[in-house]
A and B are shown apart, each in its own frame.
Chain A
Amino acid sequence: MITCRGIYKSYSRGSRRKNVLNNVNLDVGRGERLALLGRNGAGKSTLIKLIGGVEMPTSGKIRRDMSVSWPLGLHGGFQGSLTGYDNARFIARIYKRDYFEVKNFVEDFTELGRQLAMPVKTYSSGMRARLAFALSLAIEFDCYLIDEIILVGDQNFSRKCHYELFEKRNDRAMILASHSPDTVRAMCNRAIIIHNTQATEYDDVNRAVETYINL
């Protein structure tokens, strides 16, 4: 269970403050698949970062009673100057996993071959996505935080992600920030629209998607 109560987030730039989220309340139970919808800059990534503990809310409480992945997106989680293998070793260490198991899984899932011995900063975004996904799958979380951008890989990658995440691990919870009505309809069973710093919850995904399209 993830519980967010009274979440406010604002960023300060000099003397000005910009409100991003105003009083967001949210529960995500085990196995639930929640879509975050909203226009660019609405605060989807911010909310995901708060839930993942990357940034702290300005006020409010977030409780995590299950293991939650780090936010999987194009940014963060890696040290660019280190190789794919070094990053895997770092992550295996801090999550207390056996490096060789992680390494085998990563080699198998990413199919990056010798590229894994190159610094991550030389990777394309597709390659980064593969590495990030492989690592988070190797660690095994109860809840995955995913920025949809990362799912835009080639066919082979999409198929693998789909199999690993939606079929093999369909008991896991997921929070997916997305712009794609099709993905949301197909993958999620609840949705939240973030608009003008407010979050509105919808139990019916189709209605959420329609509201979102008309924003």
Chain B
Amino acid sequence: MAHSLLKQLARGWSVQIRVIHALMIRELTTRFGRENIGFLWIMVEPLLFAGLVGLIWQWTKGPEEHGVTVIAFAASGYIPITLFRHGIGRSISAFTANGSLLYHRQVKVLDFILARFIIEVLGGMMAFVFALVVLASVGEIPVPDNIGTMIAGWTLYAMFCLSLCLVITPLSEMSEVIEKLVPVITYITIPISGLPYMVSWMTPGVREILLWSPFVNGMEMIREGIWGDKVTAYYNIWNPIVFSMILTLIGLALCRRVRRELAVE
């Protein structure tokens, strides 16, 4: 009994992995086409964004702030936040946009969210590694002090973004108001995203508040992983884990409910 259940589960998994793989390839061909650099655009988009903002910061703030180079600091903050903003942006109305593929029973609505998110994560991580290599080779950034902490920070940050996508996607299908509000909300979250500062630069009162944000916790870990002792990082790994778990549960329940009601043309 338990054995056959396990077998069924394994078969279900292999089907979903096949579907996600097919959806990712489909997504990449529709979004980037086959011309010029093709799918490498997923990496170039965040890189351009982080690079240009870094240059502007360097120009306005000078090359170094709080003992770290400004351009590297901008890159370490902007690439993860691009993941968050693109991930959420891609989530809006993802079910209806892909509706015609729901004609195939093995395609589940969760596959749409996962396929799109995996693409964003791959793009973000590739851009991040690329930026690290380039900046390290010109001496703008040190070789990461602790790669493990950096990757753990990235993982927690990405996990929280995914759990947000799981909630936002069904909500955007339920109400058009949410769909319209999302761009505004992603914009006003910038102050709690951990992007332009380290928590240690703040007063203790502000610090307390900021550390409630899962983004900040993830970002602090990424930066500690890169700069090590040169910066003071404050974080609690349980914050993003707990928030992600709660949002994931809510998101899965919402997805299930929306799928039952979803009208497919």
Query: Which residues does A use to contact B, with CB under 8 Å?
Result: 11-12, 49, 52-56, 58, 68, 70-71, 75-82, 86, 90-91, 93-96
- Residues of B within 8 Å of A58, CB to CB, are 260
Choose one: A12, A70, A82; the contact of B104 (CB below 8 Å).
A70
Smallest CB-CB A-B distances: 10 pairs: A93-B22, A76-B103, A53-B105, A70-B103, A77-B103, A56-B260, A76-B100, A94-B22, A54-B264, A94-B19
Q: Decide: A79 near B30, CB < 8 A? Known: A70-B105, A93-B18, A94-B19.
A: yes
- Residues of B within 8 Å of A78, CB to CB, are 100
Cβ-defined contact, A55 with B263, below 8 A: yes
- Residues of B within 8 Å of A11, CB to CB, are 263
Contacts of B77-118 to chain A: CB distance below 8 A = 99-107
- Residues of B within 8 Å of A95, CB to CB, are 104, 106
Cβ-defined contact, B103 with A54, below 8 A: yes
Cβ-defined contact, B30 with A12, below 8 A: no
Q: In the docked arrangement, what's the CA distance between A99 and B135, Å? A: 43
Q: Decide: A77 near B18, CB < 8 A? Known: A86-B29, A94-B107.
A: no
A78 to chain B, nearest CB (A): 6
From B259, which residue of chain A is reached at the shortest CB distance? A56
Inter-chain pairs besides A78-B100, A82-B29, A82-B30, 11 sampled, C-beta below 8 Å: A54-B102, A70-B104, A70-B105, A75-B265, A76-B264, A77-B103, A79-B26, A79-B100, A79-B101, A86-B29, A93-B18
Cβ-defined contact, A12 with B261, below 8 A: yes
Q: In the docked arrangement, what's the CA distance between A79 and B105, Å? A: 15
Q: In the docked arrangement, what's the CA distance between A55 and B103, Å? A: 9
Q: Decide: A52 near B18, CB < 8 A? Known: A75-B265, A79-B30.
A: no
Choose one: A52, A82, A91, A96; the contact of B105 (CB below 8 Å).
A52
Q: In the docked arrangement, what's the CA distance between A81 and B263, Å? A: 21
Interface residues in B, total, Cβ within 8 A: 24
- Residues of B within 8 Å of A52, CB to CB, are 103, 105
- Residues of A within 8 Å of B133, CB to CB, are none
Contacts of B215-265 to chain A: CB distance below 8 A = 259-265
B8 to chain A, nearest CB (A): 15
B7: interface (CB < 8 Å) = no
- Residues of B within 8 Å of A76, CB to CB, are 99-100, 102-103, 264-265
Q: In the docked arrangement, what's the CA distance between A56 and B261, Å? A: 7
A110 to chain B, nearest CB (A): 18
Cβ-defined contact, B26 with A91, below 8 A: no
A79 to chain B, nearest CB (A): 6
B129 to chain A, nearest CB (A): 28
B262 to chain A, nearest CB (A): 7
Cβ-defined contact, A82 with B18, below 8 A: no
Q: In the docked arrangement, what's the CA distance between A179 and B260, Å? A: 29
Contacts of B161-202 to chain A: CB distance below 8 A = none
Q: In the docked arrangement, what's the CA distance between A77 and B264, Å? A: 11
Q: In the docked arrangement, what's the CA distance between A90 and B25, Å? A: 8
B207: interface (CB < 8 Å) = no
B54 to chain A, nearest CB (A): 34
- Residues of B within 8 Å of A94, CB to CB, are 18-19, 22, 104, 106-107
- Residues of A within 8 Å of B262, CB to CB, are 55-56
- Residues of A within 8 Å of B101, CB to CB, are 77, 79
Contacts of B2-59 to chain A: CB distance below 8 A = 18-19, 21-22, 25-26, 29-30
Q: In the docked arrangement, what's the CA distance between A75 and B259, Å? A: 19
- Residues of A within 8 Å of B25, CB to CB, are 90, 93
Q: In the docked arrangement, what's the CA distance between A70 and B99, Å? A: 13
- Residues of B within 8 Å of A90, CB to CB, are 22, 25-26
Q: In the docked arrangement, what's the CA distance between A71 and B103, Å? A: 7
Q: Counting chain A CB atoms within 10 Å of each CB, which of B105, B107, B260 scores highest? A: B105
From A67, which residue of chain B is reached at the shortest CB distance? B105
- Residues of B within 8 Å of A70, CB to CB, are 103-105
From A80, which residue of chain B is reached at the shortest CB distance? B100
A142 to chain B, nearest CB (A): 14
A141 to chain B, nearest CB (A): 11
Q: In the docked arrangement, what's the CA distance between A14 and B21, Å? A: 36
Q: In the docked arrangement, what's the CA distance between A100 and B104, Å? A: 20
Q: In the docked arrangement, what's the CA distance between A91 and B106, Å? A: 11
B185 to chain A, nearest CB (A): 25
Q: In the docked arrangement, what's the CA distance between A52 and B262, Å? A: 14
